[in-house]
Structure 1
């Protein structure tokens, strides 16, 4: 798939100028709002415009409009939860489209306009799909009790619930899939719908990371394999929970794992790969506007003399779940929906 580098660059450059001009145009249409907006609200408005441009640029760059559609759906849910009128949001998108059309070529606008116009229709539509609830399973009651304690700040009780269940014989894998994963989805949904604050969301995620760390003695019980894998997030990516969980699954499968964490500089990753010499690298990106960073990391790893040419690279995260063939266009060897599938895929790629 050929990427639209020039249009991507134009859209990203607009992030420095367009937020101010869109805010000014907004006040021209709504003179009464200028006096009502606080400085904080003005800054948030401009940040939102820059954010929209980031998602739009990445979506256009990889030729995957569905990425922007999913972002708009998420944005609509979030802004509705804080009672922002959808007609105001649609108005902002219309102004953004107008501003882009003024600086882009007719051919470029043929790419941009349908994407933004579809977004405006979605914003004004009364139908809205929220995050799906967790699937019922035999640990659903535990997951709910675990979440309830996290939300009231009772981290110790949450930890004791998990340790008690594991000590009673429940496999750690089941705890990851049937407790931690649905709880993290629900925490994200609660924040998205303005039911909990950013502080609560961060606390809950941090608490779950602490709980997971207490389960590490249970991860090293299986037969060890002569296989190594490194997991990392791209520069700027701060969401690391999914990557950490995938790494733990590989550890439970007998691999020697090396988890580098969030926001890793590409040069540092390349140097580490040269030192450790793994058979597999897993790269994680949660935010759509980090897809470009994933592509750059893969490209630079492939061209480095420090890294073996036989290294298999898997990618994971929300953008790759939304756009099923996205992994192919950025040079990865594969993408898996779940941690179990990632293990199967890695084993098959190495054996091939």
Structure 2
């Protein structure tokens, strides 16, 4: 089920309601309309997948972001209330009632404590993670690289670097951006440094284990640019003896289908980080189902961890909540086929 009203007219009506309440000024019109569209993107995706959790999670994230930008709490709450009011007025009864229940649920969630904690806390390699974070935030790529290579040469495994350094540091960088402590430029730089270092680690990956005569094809779904997670997954399979074919970010679906048809992998891994890309995952899985002897599809990424049943809703065969669990989940599944 979707919202079967032209987006432009829906956004215009919501903006007019906000303006009538005195919650926006004419000079803020463009930014306000942009935010309304974001809210609707997430709400529609949540409704399509019968997942109020997806919208509630987005609203909590947006609240933290907006408040740390110095906007009043009523900014987001007012937008949500206007969305609900307009939808109840102009949508069909069933869709309006459903949208209203999702929005009301998110407003209740906003009353709960939802301050994001640091992702670097008591954990293995905490000191290493803290030092690495400091270096990438100080734009010291060479020192960050040297730190990781030195750790590997001293006996730290690639798996532990991925799990206890790269993964928590990337999450922490996202939190620092969300709370307005670093800029988008800092976030992009830190991510690019981690990607650069990862590309240099293959000498530590390939000799890691005996080969298993199993092949994985892995990629981000089209429109998805957050690729570090699925790249880690691909590398974990390689470390564990698989032949991993990593296609990268935003892979066109037809090209994805063709290479799966050509390579006949034992497993396909698809990732989406942004909730509004879940629909692309569902469409891709359907497309891959047209391949002769189509392989099982494993999905992963943030929205699939928010709603732990979402993988079933998009038609996937299995789901891994993390890079560290992906190989185990896949091999257990293949043994039962």
The alignment's TM-score, normalised by the length of structure 2, stands at 0.95
In the alignment, structure 2 segments of 5+ residues that lack a partner are none
The yes-or-no answer on 1:17 pairing with 2:1 is no
**Residue number in structure 2 paired with 1:345:** 329
Alignment correspondent of 2:205: 219
**CA distance in structure 1 between the partners assigned to 2:269 and 2:146 by the alignment:** 31
* 8 Å CA contact retained: 2:65, 2:179: yes
| Cα deviations by residue, 1:118-155 (Å, 9 ceiling, x for unpaired) | 223334x2633314533423411111011001011001
1:65 is aligned to 2:52: yes
**CA deviation map 1:172-204 (0-9, x unaligned):** 100000100110010000000010111110110
Does 2:12 align with 1:26? no
Residue in structure 1 matching 2:116, options 111, 127, 130: 130
Query: What is the DSSP-based 3-state SS (H/G/I as helix, E as strand, rest coil) of the residue aligned with 2:25?
Result: helix
Q: More displaced, 330-339 or 152-161?
A: 330-339
Secondary structure of the structure 1 residue equivalent to 2:155: coil
Decide which moves more: 174-183 or 295-304: 295-304
Alignment check: 8 A CA contact 2:261 2:291 kept: no
CA distance in 2, matches of 1:156, 1:177: 21
**2:129, 2:166 within 8 Å by CA — same for their partners in 1?**
yes
CA distance in 2, matches of 1:208, 1:312: 30
**Contact in 1 for aligned 2:163/2:324 (Cα 8 Å):** no
Residue equivalent to 2:218: 231
Q: CA deviation at 1:89?
A: 1.8
Aligned residues: 335
For 2:112 and 2:62, the matched residues in 1 are separated by: 14
Given that 1:315 and 1:327 are in contact with CA atoms closer than 8 Å, whether structure 2 keeps it comes out as yes
Query: 1:275 and 1:151 mapped to 2: Cα distance?
Result: 42
RMSD over equivalenced CA pairs, Å = 1.6
Q: Which residue of 1 aligns with 2:309?
A: 325
Which of 267, 270, 276 is 1:280 aligned to?
A: 267
Q: Does 1:54 align with 2:41?
A: yes
The 8 Å contact of residues 221 and 251 in structure 2, kept in 1 or not, is answered as: yes
Q: What are the ranges of 5 or more consecutive residues in structure 1 without an aligned counterpart?
A: none
Q: TM-score with structure 1 length normalisation? A: 0.91
Q: Which residue of 2 aligns with 1:163?
A: 149
Structure 1 position 86 matched with structure 2 position 73: yes
Cα distance in 2 for partners of 1:95, 1:279 equals: 49
CA contact (8 A) 2:3 2:95 kept: no
Q: 1:120 aligns with which of 107, 119, 123?
A: 107
Query: Which residue does 2:245 correspond to in 1?
Result: 258
Secondary structure of the structure 2 residue equivalent to 1:232: strand
